[in-house]
Structure 1
Amino acid sequence: MDVKRIFRHELFLTFFLCCVNGQTSEPFFLVTFPAVIQSGSEAKLCTSVLKPRDGLMDIHLVGNDNQTTLLLQKKTNEELHHCFIFQAPRVDAQSVQKIRVEVQGRSFKFVEERKVMFRPYYPLTFMQTDKPIYNPGQMVHFRAVTMNSSFVALDQMYSMVVVEDSQSNRIGQWTNVSSIRWILQLSHQLNPEARQGMYALKAYIGERMIVHNFEVKKYVLPKFEVTVKAAQTHSVGEEELKIEVCGKYTYNQPVPGRAWVEVCRNPFEYVTVPGVVRPCLNKTAEMNKTGCASFTFNTSAFTNFRFEDYLQDSLVIQANLTEEGTDTVMTKSEAVSLTYEIGKVTFVDLPDVFEHGSVLEGKIKVAHFNGTPIQNTAVYLLEGQSWASRLLQNLTTGSNGLAAFSLNTAGLPNSDLNLMASVTPEVRDTYKKPYFTTDEKNIRLLQPATSYTQTFSELTIEKIEQPLKCDTEITVTIKYNFVGETASNINTAVIYMVLSRGVIVHHGYKKVNVKTSSGAASGSFSFKLFVGADLSPAVQILAYCLLPSDNVVAGNTVLDIEKCFKNKVSVQFSPASAVPGEENTVKLSAPPGSLCGVSAVDQSVLILESGRRLNAEKIFGLLPVQSVSDYPYDVEDEQECLKVRPRRDVRTDSAYEAFKAVGLKVATNLAVREPQCLTYKGLNYQRNFYDVYYRRNGGNFAMSRLAVESLPEVTSAFEVTIRTVFPETWIWQLAEVGYWINAGSCEGSGHHHHLGDGCLLSVL
């Protein structure tokens, strides 16, 4: 038997299936649990008993010392879909143990073991400075906050807090300092002759170290900000590149003046070929009343070069804005990716499966790079692979850019069909040449579903607009499409699970009873899910079921959620806008008992350093798990070789990958995973990504190669006031809810201030 054929076919794995008269013994069971579980937590595992039969299911946790702990014992005489809570062992360091599932009756016994990792999660700690950048001699204000993985604030003793300069010299130190009502707030005076560079704040909790960096350098606050708007990607098929340069003062007024823009295409750094030049174009324009200037460049000047192979596939934009009256110049740079793709060819309305001898119908769409359809253009339908294709039909697109086709499959091979759509009748080299993409679609041959053949059935989870809003209820719809099942009536349970931050948070199932028509049946059902802050920043949904052919089908998806917190905080200036010298008050609203750390800095500071500001993204980045997409290497389970009989097909079932994609381990006696090793006629075939290695017991190895927060716009005139004070940090204080914070006199010359706040409420 051809080894390549074994692995080119989709693979099939059975877990110790006992066979009686050629039929698989019952019951079937499937136990799922997270591959990584927090030490000492209340963990959850979910069980399904399918095709029940009198027996007993025992689930044990097997420790490293082989001591066992009974987690669950259930009878298997009735169908079961339920989750159970168990206490995870407390460990000081990550520990890989095993969960053993035993199902035993009078005439059957199944034993399955799967690895599981228990990992201690440390409290989350972040540090915050009032500004991201300081002049030498300024005061650095900073805070440290510690909380658990549910964002509940904790009082914390810090064994040491230090400040290090750009040469790692310690210039400030505090020992054994504790937070007061959850927040530690300290400050450090920089030396007027302080070295410039990146400084580090380090907080130690036992052996753990938390680091926060800030910059010290001599600077002058910018008066205005420059933005450059251009397409992220530009196609060589588009002759014009449009660029807009805008300038705004920190108080939202447009900047008068003129803009100069230069666009260049740089050669690769390593190029030393004589004659290679850096093509550039530049233009100048006056700013309009809105503070913007528009430019259009002909990009043909950057392509069709003799030395084009030595030029980078990107355009670099540099914009200089010169303020009228002062000649103050601000610079902004952007990069635009350059692509040789000038259009797209895609299949539309093409089925996933077909019956041999039927007429296959579909459409091909041709569009420009920007998505506009192309009419009256030739497009070709091909069959085979890109390196060995066969032309089937010549087509022409209509006014909507679509070309419809009908294909009689009677004259085609009785196998899966690989179709390609292209604007050329053969595949061509597209390197550094304008091209249309080629679409490729594999349509599978419909065959009766058995446990030894590939299943075409699938479960899909309907897409929902993302990110999901917090504190809302959503409807999750699961669609099922059962194809090739020989049973005239399909009665099964579709089990679904919702995970957040690597933990099972919701579980349910829906009984589905549908009649098949021409070997197919489809439908959908829905369930409600409340999206609370405890689910943020994402939920993962898994659905699976067992079909009459004993195939397991599964589907999964990830839904992003807006980053939100249980504490709802609002901040208001009173009045909302003020003239220089006017008193202003900041009002905070938060749950009773909250302690808020409030800061307000001059907007000009954030123009200099916009990326190093505490925000929700950075807080959620502290979580040990946000979502899961794989198993850690340490918990991958070893597999025994699958014995292959002649004429037996082996296949890949996507069910295992669906479980793995949400970080769930699955212990089951059902076929859900492809083998990494096959035994055929005394040879063991070991599979890796590219190769199949085989050996005869006692023999040598041989190898065969496989193919493988913004303020409102200010439009009215304002009174100019001479600025007498120049603070960069306007507010840096702790406030309990219910108090008013007086921001003092608003002495800025029409400046905006960026207000940040974080309120903590401990519920321990």
Structure 2
Amino acid sequence: MSFQLISDATPGTYNIIAESTPENIAHMDSFRVEEYIPPRFSVSVVSPRTLSVLDESMKVNISAEYTYGQPVPGNVTLQICKQVFSYGRAQNCLKDKTQKCLNTTGQLGPDGIYHGEIDLSPLNIGLSVFGSSLNMIIAVAEEGSGVQVRENHYIGISSQLASLTLDYESLQQHYKRGIPYTGKVRLTNEKGEPLAHEEVELQVEGLRPIQKIITDQAGVAEFHIDTSSFVMPNFTFKATYQNPALCYYAQWETTPYPSTEYQVLRFYSKTGSFLHINGPKETLSCGKSYSINVQYIVGCDAAGDKTTFYFLVMSKEKIVLSGAQDVDLTTSKNGSISLNIDVTSELTPSARVIVYGVLDSELIADSINLFIETCFQHQVSLSFSEAQGPPASNVGLQLSAAPGATCGVRVIDYSLLLLNPYERFSADTVYNSIPHLSLYGYQVGDFNLEDSTPPCEDPNKEIFYNGDYYKPISSYSEGDSYEIFKQLGLVVGTEYSLRKPVVCGYEIPEHVGPIFPIRKVAFGGMAPVLMADASGNRESIETVRQDFKETFVWKMVVVDSEGKLTLTEKVPDTITEWKGSMFCLSDEQGIGITTQMANFTSFLPFFVEPSLPFSINRGETMVLRAFVSNYLKKCITIHVTLGQSADFDATPQDVQQDKCICAGGRAVYSWNVNAKSLGQISFTLSAETTHIGDTCDGPNDPSQQSRKDTVIRTVLVEAEGIRRELTSSNLVCVDGSNSEIPIGITPPDNVVPGSANGYVIALGDIIGLPLRNLQNLLQLPYGCGEQNLARLAPISDVLDYLNTTAQLTDETLQTGIRFMNE
């Protein structure tokens, strides 16, 4: 399905609505109509994310690159301002409340990169009792055109020269008595760089001694906490980097040393038996196999000489994999098993692995999350027959998909992705559109399938054990196997122990939601034409370019019975990189989407490129600039001309016509242009070589062909003055015959010549255009007499209108009748 957008469409957002009935909107998407010039180059900035109060300078790398991959010549302007965070009366402590800024400029190198080292002393980022940061505004201006691309970067200023962070992905919410609690801590400096071979102290609250761990080359230190003697409902461990050489100022609102802490909750088991899964934390790749280690500890009287551990892998609300493994317990009640999982598209985008064991009187379990790359069963690919070629040449698009699949192919100009990098249709958006990727709990619609809570235990019940009397207590923050199954939406039918006991008075308060651990951190045109010149030398290469569309390919195709198809397409005339993507639908294998874009660069070693605005006003002077780029390995002398036209007058700014450009260089030509006509007007620019050699002053190289590039571009010329619109409306009742409607609109006396235009809109439904969802006007009358009448009166008119316009459904009709009867 496609439609043609009108040429004078009003800029703004438009909605596309696909609906099965007037009351059921199946899907709505939107697009924007804008007046824009595609960006010709991108800018990237490499700078520190954080500076320390001791830094006196900062290194910045700024690079600019054209969409066809070549470096941009130009200059760089940086403005760096210090922002101080102070509030209330603290602002009165600042002697100078004005924002401090420094400005610097530089030049992009031949590789399109600016390497700068900024002196920060004017900003005085050193000792301060207030928090502060730097805001860096970067502007890159292209040489000759003055076209700018701006970037903003935020840089923090830290008084802590080191930072400790926990790897929360490796941390467990609960500890299980007898299984070592493991985790990782990372030590970095203020710039985020790892600090290797440094000592970090780890202390469990209320316990001695302090554990000392050493960071590796990545600044990471792994720790193990022995839990064999732990019985407390929770414990907190704290990691600290105590380096006395660190800078510290007593008035800073920070701790003397970088530290971080984490609270771990207890996990319940009736027999002291536990399972603990150690799985990969990184995103798993489809088509690969991964090993998952499962530690177990079984209580002395919990099982015999052998037991079986079962595992399930769940994704998208269903069980995808299952299996079991027998374990011999005769030699040891502690050990580990290994599970191998083959990652397929059935597990995308995430999966839950649960391992459980049925002991003599208890069911124990553990689970983990696996993050899977977004892939599909339907494997598709798109590639170009070559990586680079000239404009207007033919290039092959090679498609691979399931046999007979229908595929949508899109190839667009890279500049469109610079304007809006957000990909609206991707593997992630497909999976995110699935209503339920995982299950949780036992609530299904209006039904709660959860078993009733077992009765609580008497808190006054005394137990005599080993010469002492004990009373039961419980903690609502404690984890148990029942909660693991509940999180996965699995219903367990068993008589064995699954839940933790709850003592009366220790139930979970109604206002308390799910229990999470506490984290605390303290910071320290036309194809080339061969032509013979007048002297009989080698044929010259001439290109005429006028097709500058931004969408190269946009079509639906069907692959053959082997799942292959090759499309041959003519490349547009833009010098740029083209980005191709594809999705396919198959009855057998479903949807498939390319994961990597196919790239093709249309390029010429010698070309001319004008810099034009989207529109100009008639009567104003526009400066038209033409850039001639030389990517040949020789020096060239060029001649540039602007074709004459009755639509405009042009006066060249440059006195010198023949200019010398050596390899990698370019020249700029300028004209003052005054438009005389309204609407789209064309500019024809031609650049041709008059000499090619090792130097511009030396002999001509007979092995080199002369070249000529012609570009035809258009600009919209709008009328001068102020836009004014006059409207005339008529209501005509047509009863079985044609009607003629006289329309007369007299333009004002001072109308700008050539600017008057008009259009006619004919509507068969006079209120259908501005109104939608009229059925929502049906409201149940209630209240006093006036309120009842105000809601009752429109019902019959709304039903009549919906019926006349074929929008009335049985459901809406019955609703209206019920409201009037009640």
Tell me whether the two structures share a fold, i.e. TM-score over 0.5. yes
Is structure 2 residue 415 aligned with structure 1 residue 604? Answer: yes
Q: For the structure 1 residues 292 and 632, does the alpha-carbon distance in structure 2 shift closer, same or farther, using more than 3 Å as the test?
A: farther
- The corresponding residue for 1:327 is 146
Q: For the structure 1 residues 290 and 555, does the alpha-carbon distance in structure 2 shift closer, same or farther, using more than 3 Å as the test?
A: farther
Question: Distance in 1 between the 2:66 and 2:454 partners?
Answer: 68
3-state secondary structure, aligned to 1:617:
helix
5 Å matches for 1:505-544? 505-515=320-330, 521-527=334-340, 529-544=341-356
Q: CA deviation at 1:239?
A: 6.6
Q: For the structure 1 residues 262 and 667, does the alpha-carbon distance in structure 2 shift closer, same or farther, using more than 3 Å as the test?
A: farther
Q: For the structure 1 residues 364 and 723, does the alpha-carbon distance in structure 2 shift closer, same or farther, using more than 3 Å as the test?
A: closer
Q: For the structure 1 residues 490 and 479, does the alpha-carbon distance in structure 2 shift closer, same or farther, using more than 3 Å as the test?
A: farther
- The corresponding residue for 2:6 is 190
Q: CA deviation at 1:284?
A: 2.5
3-state secondary structure, aligned to 1:732:
strand
Q: Please tell me the residue identity of whatever aligns with 1:588.
A: L
Q: CA deviation at 1:546?
A: 3.5
Question: Distance in 2 between the 1:540 and 1:365 partners?
Answer: 27
- The corresponding residue for 1:725 is 547
Q: CA deviation at 1:655?
A: 2.0
Question: Distance in 1 between the 2:61 and 2:512 partners?
Answer: 49
Question: Distance in 2 between the 1:438 and 1:216 partners?
Answer: 52
Q: What is the aligned residue count?
A: 526
Question: Distance in 2 between the 1:606 and 1:397 partners?
Answer: 45
Q: CA deviation at 1:345?
A: 5.5
Q: Which one of the candidate residues 250, 259, 266 is aligned to 1:438?
A: 259
5 Å matches for 1:128-139? none
Q: For the structure 1 residues 220 and 689, does the alpha-carbon distance in structure 2 shift closer, same or farther, using more than 3 Å as the test?
A: same
3-state secondary structure, aligned to 2:375:
coil
5 Å matches for 1:28-427? 185-192=1-8, 194-206=9-21, 207-231=24-48, 241-266=58-83, 273=91, 276-297=97-118, 301=123, 303=125, 308-309=130-131, 315-336=134-155, 342-344=161-163, 368=189, 370=192, 372-373=194-195, 384=205, 420-423=238-241
1:704-737 Cα deviation digits (max 9, x unpaired) = xxxxxxxxxxxxxxx9956422211222222222
1:283-330 Cα deviation digits (max 9, x unpaired) = 333222332223345678475575725x5xx64332211112222211
Q: Please tell me the residue identity of whatever aligns with 1:666.
A: V
Q: Which one of the candidate residues 478, 482, 506 is aligned to 1:656?
A: 482
- The corresponding residue for 2:385 is 574
Structure 1 residue ranges without an equivalent (≥5): 1-184, 692-718
- The corresponding residue for 1:463 is 280
Note if contact 1:628-1:662 (Cα within 8 Å) is conserved in structure 2. Answer: yes
3-state secondary structure, aligned to 1:657:
helix
Question: Distance in 1 between the 2:222 and 2:347 partners?
Answer: 45
Q: For the structure 1 residues 201 and 384, does the alpha-carbon distance in structure 2 shift closer, same or farther, using more than 3 Å as the test?
A: same
3-state secondary structure, aligned to 1:642:
coil
3-state secondary structure, aligned to 1:187:
coil
Note if contact 1:500-1:626 (Cα within 8 Å) is conserved in structure 2. Answer: yes
- The corresponding residue for 1:494 is 309
Q: Please tell me the residue identity of whatever aligns with 1:258.
A: N
Question: Distance in 2 between the 1:429 and 1:667 partners?
Answer: 61
Q: Please tell me the residue identity of whatever aligns with 1:625.
A: H
Deviates more, 1:474-483 or 1:413-422: 413-422
Note if contact 1:461-1:555 (Cα within 8 Å) is conserved in structure 2. Answer: no
Question: Distance in 1 between the 2:161 and 2:301 partners?
Answer: 47
Q: For the structure 1 residues 399 and 752, does the alpha-carbon distance in structure 2 shift closer, same or farther, using more than 3 Å as the test?
A: closer
Q: Please tell me the residue identity of whatever aligns with 1:190.
A: I
Q: Please tell me the residue identity of whatever aligns with 1:513.
A: D
Is structure 2 residue 559 aligned with structure 1 residue 737? Answer: yes
Q: CA deviation at 1:580?
A: 2.2
Q: For the structure 1 residues 664 and 417, does the alpha-carbon distance in structure 2 shift closer, same or farther, using more than 3 Å as the test?
A: closer
Q: Please tell me the residue identity of whatever aligns with 2:481.
A: A
3-state secondary structure, aligned to 2:389:
coil
TM normalised by structure 2 equals 0.54
Q: Which has the larger radius of gyration?
A: 2
Q: Which one of the candidate residues 635, 639, 656 is aligned to 2:453?
A: 639
Structure 2 residue ranges without an equivalent (≥5): 463-470, 514-540, 591-822
Q: CA deviation at 1:585?
A: 3.1
Deviates more, 1:648-657 or 1:267-276: 267-276
Q: Please tell me the residue identity of whatever aligns with 1:422.
A: T
Question: Distance in 2 between the 1:444 and 1:230 partners?
Answer: 41
Question: Distance in 1 between the 2:213 and 2:309 partners?
Answer: 44
Q: CA deviation at 1:253?
A: 0.8
- The corresponding residue for 1:761 is 586
- The corresponding residue for 1:615 is 426
Question: Distance in 2 between the 1:566 and 1:415 partners?
Answer: 46
Question: Distance in 1 between the 2:252 and 2:442 partners?
Answer: 37
Q: CA deviation at 1:197?
A: 2.6
Q: Please tell me the residue identity of whatever aligns with 2:308.
A: A
Note if contact 1:653-1:672 (Cα within 8 Å) is conserved in structure 2. Answer: no
Question: Distance in 2 between the 1:415 and 1:213 partners?
Answer: 53
Q: Please tell me the residue identity of whatever aligns with 1:532.
A: T
- The corresponding residue for 2:495 is 669
Note if contact 1:340-1:435 (Cα within 8 Å) is conserved in structure 2. Answer: no
Question: Distance in 1 between the 2:405 and 2:485 partners?
Answer: 40
Q: CA deviation at 1:225?
A: 1.1
In terms of fraction of residues, the more strand-rich structure is 1
Question: Distance in 2 between the 1:373 and 1:572 partners?
Answer: 43
Q: CA deviation at 1:552?
A: 3.6
Note if contact 2:86-2:130 (Cα within 8 Å) is conserved in structure 1. Answer: no
Question: Distance in 1 between the 2:124 and 2:510 partners?
Answer: 44
Q: For the structure 1 residues 627 and 363, does the alpha-carbon distance in structure 2 shift closer, same or farther, using more than 3 Å as the test?
A: closer
Note if contact 1:365-1:397 (Cα within 8 Å) is conserved in structure 2. Answer: no
Question: Distance in 2 between the 1:565 and 1:491 partners?
Answer: 40
- The corresponding residue for 2:376 is 565
Q: For the structure 1 residues 264 and 200, does the alpha-carbon distance in structure 2 shift closer, same or farther, using more than 3 Å as the test?
A: farther
Note if contact 1:461-1:476 (Cα within 8 Å) is conserved in structure 2. Answer: no
Q: CA deviation at 1:244?
A: 2.5
1:166-209 Cα deviation digits (max 9, x unpaired) = xxxxxxxxxxxxxxxxxxx12141351x3323222121133133
Q: For the structure 1 residues 574 and 506, does the alpha-carbon distance in structure 2 shift closer, same or farther, using more than 3 Å as the test?
A: closer
3-state secondary structure, aligned to 2:504:
strand
1:101-150 Cα deviation digits (max 9, x unpaired) = xxxxxxxxxxxxxxxxxxxxxxxxxxxxxxxxxxxxxxxxxxxxxxxxxx
Q: CA deviation at 1:255?
A: 1.0
Question: Distance in 1 between the 2:14 and 2:568 partners?
Answer: 31
Deviates more, 1:487-496 or 1:506-515: 487-496
Q: For the structure 1 residues 404 and 510, does the alpha-carbon distance in structure 2 shift closer, same or farther, using more than 3 Å as the test?
A: closer
Note if contact 1:350-1:361 (Cα within 8 Å) is conserved in structure 2. Answer: yes
Q: CA deviation at 1:648?
A: 2.1
3-state secondary structure, aligned to 2:205:
strand
Note if contact 2:307-2:357 (Cα within 8 Å) is conserved in structure 1. Answer: yes
Q: CA deviation at 1:625?
A: 2.6
1:49-76 Cα deviation digits (max 9, x unpaired) = xxxxxxxxxxxxxxxxxxxxxxxxxxxx
Q: Please tell me the residue identity of whatever aligns with 1:754.
A: K
Question: Distance in 2 between the 1:530 and 1:394 partners?
Answer: 38
Q: For the structure 1 residues 283 and 483, does the alpha-carbon distance in structure 2 shift closer, same or farther, using more than 3 Å as the test?
A: farther
1:521-573 Cα deviation digits (max 9, x unpaired) = 1121324x33332332222211112445x444322222222222233323232
Q: For the structure 1 residues 657 and 579, does the alpha-carbon distance in structure 2 shift closer, same or farther, using more than 3 Å as the test?
A: same
